[in-house]
Amino acid sequence: METIEINSDVIQLDQLLKWAGIVDSGGQVRFMLDDNIIKLNGVLLTERRKKIHPGDVVEIMGTGTWKVVKSQGE
């Protein structure tokens, strides 16, 4: 499992996946959701703008699993 650092207390799913370089656009996220391959903490997702918090685990079946952590700054 890899980690994705965010600088805020919450981020939307589509923004997170773009931030991490997993997708190039929010449109790609919609197709992935339609294909039922994205899970948040083990639960299948249907919302592109689902709020993701530090400690959450995002899984894209066939691609990878990431734990979201809050950046500690410099």
Query: According to the model, what pLDDT value does residue 28 have?
Result: 93
* Residue 23: how many other CB atoms lie within 10 Å: 19
pTM of the model: 0.90
Domains delineated in the chain: 2-70 (3.10.290.10)
pLDDT in tens, 22-53: 999 888 999 999 999 999 999 999 999 999 99
pLDDT in tens, 57-67: 999 999 999 99
